[in-house]
Structures are given as structure tokens and as C-alpha cells.
Chains A and B, each alone.
Chain A
Amino acid sequence: MTDVQYVAPRTLDEAVKAFAAASGAAKILAGGTDLLVQMRAGILKPGLIVDIKKIAEMTAVEELKDGGFRIGAAVAGAVLRDHARLKKAWPGVVEATNLIGSTQVQGRATAGGNLCNGSPAGDSVPAMVAAGAIVTIQGPKGRRDLPVEKVPAGPGRLNLTPGEIVVCFTLPARPKGSSDAYLRMIPRTEMDIAVVGCGVSLTMDKGTVTAARVGLGAVAPTVLLVEEAGKALVGSKVGAGGLDDAALAKAAAACSAACRPIDDKRGTIAYRTKVAGVLLKRTAAIAAERAGRN
């Protein structure tokens, strides 16, 4: 009844070889929570399925000597949730990944799959962008690194060449006074696709923001790094009431200005544009509050 093949290689080299040899007919399988839904719906009919979950490097979370973290592309959200040290250093990345689907979906869904599915509304992606994650990619021509925001090319499209597989995300070491947060706006409170998603990562020193990055999802064909919003936060003072209002307003305006959203049943262009600014303020406040405790 079928001419689909399934392989579960033990090494990345074998996976790349099998994936590249099948050229366009093969699909990588991580958690399958997008891939199998698409196959069921008849949108996709791969000739070869390459399961990457038997590859040790891709299923591990590793704390690096310098204090950074390396997260394998095939690590399930539930595993990140249980990793106490990662959660302490990068609560925003973990909470964003944990927003993907139900407990059952969390048992399978990966940050690698979320990125490679190429949805502009993928929840883990803005948090990874804010975090400054570097994506390691391996293909027939070897390894290369890309900043995570450079990976998506458009809805469902990636800047990967044929045969390339995302191996892992590397999160940088955290200076003292750093933290991150992710919030999304959805019409219901759970189990829905983001109308806007916002990730903020920042560092504070003696009550002043010294570094900040902002990732925005679901408001453009790809997840965006909003550099202007990060810049607007840098240099602002953090008082008893939290971040400085003028800096927040400027960063919020930068987020709204960066939006190139669509109109759909979940939200109009005007709504998404406004909410992007509102979410930036709320997310930055949480990140700053957390950073103050680190």
C-alpha cells in the first residue's frame, strides 16, 4: 500500500547522507507534531522519513564550559521544562517552547521542528531570536552556523540548502543581571496559534539596561529581530516601578513599526500592530523583573 521509507540513523553523518541522497523527496522527522499532521492531511507525501531522535548529539541538552547551553534540535519541550539550570538561565526560551500545544504535544514537539516548520507564528522562535541563539546546520558540504533569525525565509521556507539538517541551538553565556521572557497573544488562553508573540532578553547593570534583544512573531512573513526596539531599551534606568516609561514607549513604537502582518480571523492588521507594542511592554517588564533577581 505504501512506498514510503523510514530510517532512524544513529549518527548525523548517516542522516545527512540519507537525507541528501533522497533530495527533495525526504523529510526530517523530529517530534512529528507538524509533519505527521501534514502527512495525514495529504499536504505532504515524503518518499523517505529520516527520524533524527536516535542521534545522541541532537537529543541532548548540554551546559557549556563558558556557561552557555547547547540544545539539540530534536529535544522535546517536556525535556526542556525538566531542565532546572536551563530554566534558570533562560526562562523565556523554556516558557516559549512549553507553550507549544498540550502536555502530550510537549512530549514530542521540538524547538528544531518549530523553527524548521517555518511558521511565522512558531512560539519558540521569537524567544530564540531574543536570546541570540546560534543555529548549527550540517549538510553534505559540512557544518555552518547561522543566527536563528536568518534561518526562516518566508512562510514554510528556510534558508537551508538541500540536504541540510538543523543540529542544535547554542545559547550564549549569561552575564550577571540577565534574563528573558516570552508572551503571546491568542484569542483563547491556551492551545491556539499566536496573533502576536514577543520575546525579550536583557541584561542590567546597576539599574541600567546594558543590552537588549527583541524577537517578534506572527506579524510578518518571518519571525523578526527588532533591533530598534532593543536599542530603545538600552541605557534606560530601571526604577522601583520597573523599566522607564519613555524607553518602553519607544521600544513599543519600534515593534509596531516593524509589523507587516496579515489580516485573518485571528486578528486584523491594525490589531496585530497595536498588540505588538503592548506585548513588548509586558514582556520587557517580566524580563527586567527576572533580571533584577539574577
Chain B
Amino acid sequence: MAKIHVSTTVNGEPQEFLCDAEQSMLDVLRGPLGLTGSKEGCGSGDCGACTITVNGRIVCSCLMLAAEAEGQKIGTIEGMADGETLHPLQQKFLEHAALQCGICTPGVLMAAKALLERNPDPSEHDVRFWLAGNLCRCTGYDKIIRAVMETAADMRGAAR
């Protein structure tokens, strides 16, 4: 069976790859593209460890076919820092130790970034609700939520 040729954009760079029809976006990211920041926790849409953006909206890359990336703009955790400069969320997660094993972290960061882009001033309820699809078995969530709330406050301050 012939492979499918896909032309897409990953973190702002044009990217081409070959894939099988039923191969997931997550498999192609972690395999041929060597972008292993996105994690596979469940493979069934429940945990959010594989969160990426497609045209700016967060999705589970385990529940997306790689072939669907044709012509779309894909964003992964590898595109979050600006060179050596961490995104404010990444910096705050380090300061707050908002991670332990770190498996959930790339997905949490991708989701939190998308939230702050839509809503710079979320309530705690907004944050918890938005991140409900990101499971973490280590932190108990509290440090994650506080890190997101504080980053939002810092970014609002910086924007003034």
C-alpha cells in the first residue's frame, strides 16, 4: 500500500512526511518527526498528554490521523519556548514545581497557553474547567492551577 504524502506546517516551519492512513498524528510527531515532547498517556482522548494545536485549537493528537495534517498549522510543545527563552508558563511551572514526573506537563502547558490566549484573566474555575482534559497523577493539580493563575496575572501586568 502506498504511503500518504502530507505537507503541513509544524511550529511555523513547513514540514513534509509520509504516513499510513490509520497512523495517528502523535505517532508521526514522536516517530518520523522526532518531536517526542508530546506524550502518549492513554491513546484514547482521556488524558491530554498528547495535546497539540491545530490552527490554534487544542486537540488530542492521539485522536487525529496524521493524514489530516495536510495544509494545517500544527503547534507542539517544542514550539513553545522562543529559542532559549522559556514561555512565561514554562518558567512559572519550574518556579512553582508544578510538575513531578513531567509526563502530563507538555499537554498541560499547551492547553494552558491556549486558554491564556483566549482569556488573559481566567478565574480559578475557568482554569480548572479548561484543563479538565489534562490528567496528572502526581501533583494533585493545585500547583498547576496556581502556576497558571500567577502566569496570567504576570502577563497581564507585563501587557499594561
Contact = CB atoms under 8 A, between A and B. Distances in A.
The residue in B4, B48, B63, B133 that gathers the most chain A C-beta atoms within 10 A of its C-beta is B63
B21 A36 contact: no
Contacts of B64: 32, 36, 108
B45 A37 contact: yes
Contact of A107 (B20, B22, B59, B115): B59
Interface in A156-207: 190-191
A51 interface: yes
Contact of A6 (B4, B48, B131, B132): B4
Contacts of B149: none
Nearest to B54: A107
A78 B56 CA distance: 11
Interface in A1-52: 1-6, 8, 29, 31-33, 36-37, 39-41, 49, 51
B22 A49 contact: yes
Contact of A104 (B21, B43, B60): B60
B47 to A, nearest CB: 9
A37 B63 contact: yes
A241 to B, nearest CB: 29
B111 A104 contact: yes
B65 A105 contact: no
Contact of B20 (A4, A29, A40, A191): A4
A247 interface: no
Contacts of A53: 68
A37 B58 contact: no
Interface residues of B, number: 33
B22 A104 contact: no
Interface in A242-263: none
B63 A1 contact: no
A268 interface: no
Contact of A101 (B4, B21, B45, B134): B45
A38 to B, nearest CB: 10
Most B-side CB within 10 Å, residue of A6, A37, A51, A103: A103
A39 B133 contact: no
Interface string B41-66: 00111101001001001111011110
A292 B27 CA distance: 51
B70 interface: yes
B127 to A, nearest CB: 11
B67 interface: yes
B63 to A, nearest CB: 5
Given A2-B1, A6-B4, A104-B111, A29 B44 contact: no
A49 B68 CA distance: 11
Contact of B48 (A1, A76, A78, A102): A102
13 contacts: A2-B22, A4-B22, A32-B63, A41-B44, A53-B68, A101-B133, A103-B111, A103-B115, A104-B45, A107-B54, A107-B57, A191-B46, A191-B132
Interface of A: 1-6, 8, 29, 31-33, 36-37, 39-41, 49, 51, 53, 76, 78, 101-105, 107-108, 190-191
Given A29-B65, A36-B63, A103-B115, 11 more contacts: A4-B20, A32-B63, A32-B65, A36-B65, A49-B22, A51-B67, A102-B132, A103-B58, A105-B45, A105-B133, A108-B60
Interface of B: 1, 4, 20-22, 24, 43-46, 48, 51, 54, 57-60, 62-65, 67-68, 70, 111, 114-115, 129-134
